[in-house]
């Protein structure tokens, strides 16, 4: 059965049960047995139900029309008044001609039908249920609109994240190919080894980077492979320290989220330093909190401004999308460039 139809049936079932209970409570105090009073209350509500259902759905239809266009609000308003007048008339006829004499076994004066107090009471009765039905419909529409908006935002964020990753991978590849080109120009015997190491990294990027997350041990192994690849290029003029203190190797992390920081240290540190240089990398994970520090030597004065390349700009945006609880501190001093990244890996956003 259609879920929408089930919800409508449950709504009217709940209404009948509620109204029957109040009617049963109102009938209490007489000599009629309780089970008979309950049956009378249920029959009375079921008899009036078709009028209330028709009027409620017609009211919803009018509200939808009014929301869709305001070209004929007067006609819609008049249709509503006519519908309510007809609903009041039908319900008064049912009460006078059937419910009171046949269900409640009461004699009724015909003048009772036109009593203003009863007419107002009938109007309140049918307007109340129609109002609840309209409110339920509007709530459902608002909820559906919110879900649609959330879905669109999620799709937009996913598309943006995929775009950022597609930018990061070619950016890394471009830098590494430059390294291979430099070695080939020098006719270095290490060129073949570099190509093999690059092949391993590309295999990782093709298969692992498409996942939402990988283990921290896989991410750090990939970083280590990249560092080994870069070491071939710089030889003895570059000193590298990579320390790790991880309390849980299986902790999940977004793939390639740390690579741009290390890549930046090589390209804008060792790659632009004329003399001996160093890169210190530290990764610490304790109870889901990752601290990743990259410090590298550089040429230039402390007054130099910080300019972010494609890799750093992309990873900053990826962190904003995926890890709401993160901190990224970039410091530049005389001869030193330092990045301090902290991430609460337990607060991975469901992009």
Check whether residue 285 and residue 238 sit in a common domain.
yes
Q: CATH code at 196?
A: 3.30.565.10
Cβ 91 vs Cβ 56: under 8 Å: no
Is residue 137 in a domain?
no
Please say which residue of 114, 134, 162 terminates a domain.
114
Q: How many domains does the chain have?
A: 2
Q: What is the mean pLDDT of residues 88-115?
A: 78
Q: Per the structure block, which two tokens stand in for 99?
A: 């419910």
Please, what is the end-to-end C-alpha distance for the chain in angstroms? 33
Q: What is the mean pLDDT of residues 49-74?
A: 81
Query: What DSSP assignment string belongs to 212-241?
Result: S-EEHHHHHHHHHHHHHHHHHHHGGGEEEE
Is residue 129 in a domain?
no
Q: Is 308 helix (H, G, I), strand (E, B) or coil?
A: coil
Q: Is 3 helix (H, G, I), strand (E, B) or coil?
A: helix
Nearest to 167 by CA among 328, 341, 312: 312
Cβ 343 vs Cβ 326: under 8 Å: yes
Most confident of the following: 22-26, 201-205, 344-348: 344-348
Is residue 127 in a domain?
no
pTM: 0.54
Q: Sheet with 277-286: list strands edge to edge.
A: 238-246, 277-286, 289-297, 336-344, 326-333
User: How many whole angstroms separate alpha carbon 211 and alpha carbon 254?
Assistant: 8
Is residue 140 in a domain?
no
For the chain, the 3-state helix, strand and coil shares in percent, each to the nearest 5, are 65, 15, 20
pLDDT of res. 302: 47
Top-confidence residue, 207 or 79: 79
Check whether residue 170 and residue 68 sit in a common domain.
no
Most confident of the following: 5-9, 217-221, 268-272: 217-221
Phi/psi for 326 (5° steps) reads -145, 160
Q: Per the structure block, which two tokens stand in for 101?
A: 């004499």
Residue 82 neighbours by CB under 8 Å, 6+ apart: none
What's the half-sphere exposure (Cβ side, CA atoms, 13 Å) at 202?
A: 12
CB-CB neighbours of 278 under 10 Å: 17
pLDDT digits 0-9 by tens, 131-144: 898 888 888 888 88
Residue 249 has pLDDT above 70, yes or no: yes
The residue with tokens 């999940």 is 252
What residues make up the domain containing 49? 3-114
Tell me the C-alpha to C-alpha distance, in Å, between residue 23 and each of 32, 48, 102, 112, 195.
14, 13, 16, 19, 85
Cβ 248 vs Cβ 216: under 8 Å: yes
Is residue 136 in a domain?
no
Check whether residue 40 and residue 98 sit in a common domain.
yes
Nearest to 279 by CA among 217, 336, 343: 336
Is residue 175 in a domain?
yes
pLDDT digits 0-9 by tens, 204-237: 777 766 777 889 999 998 888 888 877 777 767 7
């Amino acid at each position: 059965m259609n879920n929408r139809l089930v919800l409508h049936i449950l709504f009217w079932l709940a209404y009948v049960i509620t109204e029957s209970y109040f009617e049963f409570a109102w009938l209490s105090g007489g000599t009629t047995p309780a089970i008979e009073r309950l049956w009378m209350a249920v029959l009375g509500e079921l008899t009036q139900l078709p009028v209330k259902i028709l009027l409620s759905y017609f009211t919803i239809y009018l509200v939808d029309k009014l929301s869709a266009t305001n070209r004929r609000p007067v006609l819609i308003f008049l249709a509503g008044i006519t519908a309510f007048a007809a609903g009041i008339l039908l319900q008064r006829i049912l009460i006078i001609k059937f419910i009171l004499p046949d269900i409640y076994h009461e004699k009724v004066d015909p003048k009772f039908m036109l009593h203003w107090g009863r007419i107002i009471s009938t109007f309140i009765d049918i307007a109340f249920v129609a109002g609840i039905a309209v409110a339920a419909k509007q709530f459902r529409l608002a909820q559906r609109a919110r879900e649609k908006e959330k879905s669109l935002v999620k799709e937009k964020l996913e598309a943006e994240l995929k775009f950022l990753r597609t930018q990061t991978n070619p950016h890394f590849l471009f830098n590494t190919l430059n390294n291979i080109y430099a070695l080939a120009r020098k006719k270095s015997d290490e060129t073949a080894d570099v190509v093999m190491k690059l092949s391993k990294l590309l295999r990782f990027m093709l298969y692992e980077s498409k996942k939402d997350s990988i283990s921290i041990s896989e991410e750090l192994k990939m970083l280590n492979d990249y560092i080994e690849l870069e070491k071939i290029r710089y030889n003895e003029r570059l000193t590298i320290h990579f320390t790790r203190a991880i309390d849980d190797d299986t902790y999940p992390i977004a793939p390639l989220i740390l690579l741009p920081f290390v890549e930046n240290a090589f390209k804008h540190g060792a790659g632009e330093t004329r003399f001996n240089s160093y890169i210190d990398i530290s990764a610490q994970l304790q109870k889901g909190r990752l601290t990743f520090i990259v410090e590298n030597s550089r040429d230039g004065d402390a007054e130099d401004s910080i300019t972010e390349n494609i890799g750093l700009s992309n990873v900053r945006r990826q962190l904003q999308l995926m890890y709401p609880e993160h901190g990224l501190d970039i410091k530049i001093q005389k001869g030193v460039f330092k990045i301090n990244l902290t991430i609460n890996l337990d607060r991975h956003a469901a992009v």
